Amino acid sequence: NSVWVSTDHDEIEKVAKQFGAQVHRRSPEVSQDSSTSLEAIREFLNHHHEVDIVGNIQATSPCLHPSDLIKVADLIQKEGFDSVFSVVRRHQFRWSEVKKGENKMTEPQNLNPAKRYRRQDWPGELYENGSFYFAKRHLIEKGYLQGGKMAYYEMRAEHSVDIDIDIDWPIAEQRVLSFGYFGKEPLKEVKLLVCSIDGCLTNGRIYVTEDQKEMVSYDYRDLVGIDLLKKRGIQVRLISDRDCSKTLSAMQLGCIAKVSATNKLQVLEGWQKDIGLSWKEVAYLGNEESDVECLKKAGMSGVPADACAVAQKAAGYICKSSGGCGAIREFAEHIFLLLEKVNSARKQ
The question of whether 116 is a catalytic residue gets the answer yes
Angle at 233 between CA 228 and CA 237, to 5 degrees: 75
Give, rounded to a whole angstrom, the gap between the first and last alpha carbons of the chain.
29
25, 90, 94, 116: which is the annotated catalytic residue? 116
Q: What is d(CA 220, CA 90) in angstroms, rounded to the nearest whole number? A: 42
Rounded CA separation 5/58 (Å): 11
Pairing of strands 53-57, 125-136: antiparallel
Helix (H) or strand (E) holding 222: helix 220-231
Measured between alpha carbons, how far is 154 from 150 in angstroms, rounded to an integer? 13
Task: Indicate the pairing of strand 317-318 with strand 300-303.
Answer: parallel
- 142, 153 in Cβ contact below 8 A? no
Q: How far apart are CA 94 and CA 264, in angstroms?
A: 56
Q: Which helix (H) or strand (E) is 84 found in, with range?
A: strand 83-90
Other residues' Cβ atoms within 10 Å of the Cβ of residue 40: 20
Which residues does the annotation mark as catalytic?
116
